[in-house]
Structure 1
Amino acid sequence: MVLVDSICRLAGADNLIGPGAGRLEQAIQDRDTPYLFEHLVASFSLQGISDRAALTYMENHDRPSWRDLQQATSRPSACPKLRGYWTFCGCGYRKTAWTCAEPGALAKCSVPRPTLRNGRLNQMTYSLFFFIRDVTDGKLVDWIDRSLAQASMSSVNNRAYRMRHALIEPLRNIYGVSDKVLNMTLADILLAAPASMPLWRETGSSMIAIDTLVHNFLSRTGITHRLGGEHTYGSACYSENGCADIVRRIARRIDARRFNPDYPRSFPRFVQHALWRWCAQSELNVCNGNNIDDGSRCRNGNCALFRSCDRAPLRGQSAKD
């Protein structure tokens, strides 16, 4: 795919694997569950508003730590939902309305204590904590190691899919976490692993986070029409012939080693990240709804891809940049 190859040359990052992971790589090596929990909470909070707004809020408010939640759940609670991961389902805490599924226990409940943007994030934080505490026995790195090792056994065919599925499927049950955020966050963590953990890197390189920018780019350029099936933004992006499937098929045609010799030959995460950088306002800011009228063809003749792009209007699709 010439068009996507051009974007990889113009917007592809050469530092997705290798030196630079720093503290995150060290946390993986040290099996530092508290640090990884806090990293996950911060990454999972990047949803619902712009990254800049979410990061600004987190900078101005205390962030919940692993120790905070350990202390908050160390004593019996008046709320039956705070017994553990499997009972926490249906908490229903709403910050603005100051209500939940067990209103009689709310006054003494620890869930509202972290000063997060909304009640959904409070629920997500506790759901994630309980998952790590109860499902992984507090040993997140060991759980990932076991999950990937078991999934990698038997046939080489579909191994990357099996390893992704081994992590994504159970983590989907954490409250308020979308496939996009899961793939984005896990890819960053897995690719930060040292070279001595090849299954981590192999799995992370195959993880793709589809946001509205990437979805709309594939539609505007005509790639979705040619290689996949027309669909609205959402879960269909991860279905057969959806956006993620399209990006993986394109990635097989692009040798990512041209951009960094440490990269795998086929590197779907690299391709998706390049597409995102090409579109994102905080990055190259080329192909997005701020610069293109969704109801008409793109008129940006200065774009390097103008002549090779279909410049198809979105025609009122529900996904907006």
Structure 2
Amino acid sequence: MYQHAFLFALFLGPITAHAARTCKPAVTITEYVTVTGAPTPVSSLSTPLTTSTSITSAIKSSSAPEQQPSSTETKSQSSAQVNDSLPSSTASSPYADATEVNVNIAAKEQCGNDDRLIMPGMPWTVANSMYNSNRMVGTQCTNYNKVLQTSDKTYLVDWTSTTNIENVADTNDICKGYSNIGIGKNLKKRLSEVKSIPAYYKWSRTIDGEFKGANIYDFITSPVLGAGEEPSSNEFMLFLKIWGGQVPIGYADGPAATFDMYGTTWKMYQGKNTGSGQTVRSMIPDTPFEGEFSGDLKVWLDAMVEKGYAGKEEYLNIGNCGVEVFYGNSHMDATVALDIQV
């Protein structure tokens, strides 16, 4: 499920991806937790850094249960195109007034299997990490477009993810890679030092025919400073929207816990990454997010600490959001704000 294949020169190298599980057993809920904390948008991202920051971000192979198209998606009878458009409530978002700002970073197309742009003066890296490209027939591009700024000085990165990968029977359960935005500022802090993680992910996806993948957040904590995918680490994944019928590690065992946060109920599945040894805990929403997510991700990580899945003195070593890609023909326009505040 979760293989970090592209990580930057700081600490990791390529890892062979684990094939996704596809069985769908009966579900039994063993715990139920109500998480306090407002699911409303958090828009207090700090201003850009003045120097380039080396970003460490995580890649993994994963899958999760298929979610049906909502009323905001339309499918053409002739071309089988799906528009995963934004809900009407987006207009009231505090990010809605964001406009382009000049940060002296030129737009960049990235279609190489390990292309990435470390954004000078900003806390992000835009990465096209196709760590299983040897199992892929086709192309994936992750392009940086521009930076936006809201009236309260929140910065957002505007980017696109374009998938043109054949559905090959022998590899359609293998995640080909991760098209993502990695955060570098204030990583490697103890969870107890982190005050909030304001996050915003807005997308509009068009699918021509079929697409298998998921829009996610991914974080790794560990008692070891700088540890990535290894047995001492804990990996936490938040699935926002899923296409194509995947299931996460541990799905066959049913949910280990259920949480209420960000305005919906989440089932948590857990299991070991057999390749690298870390425990992976994946949150799947009962109601998928249709084109927009906004919230403080510290609420989620605090819930993991409260249940004993991570220690409050563990280090937050990796954080990112993006698209896990399996196959299909799809184009996504996206805007992301992600910050770690200490």
Q: Point out the structure with max Rg over C-alpha.
A: 1
Q: Which has the higher strand share?
A: 2
Q: What interval of TM-score do these two structures reach, taking the shorter chain for normalisation? A: 0.3 to 0.5
Between 1 and 2, higher relative CO (CA 8 Å, sep ≥ 6) is seen in 2
TM superposition score normalised by structure 2: 0.32
Q: Which has the higher helix share?
A: 1
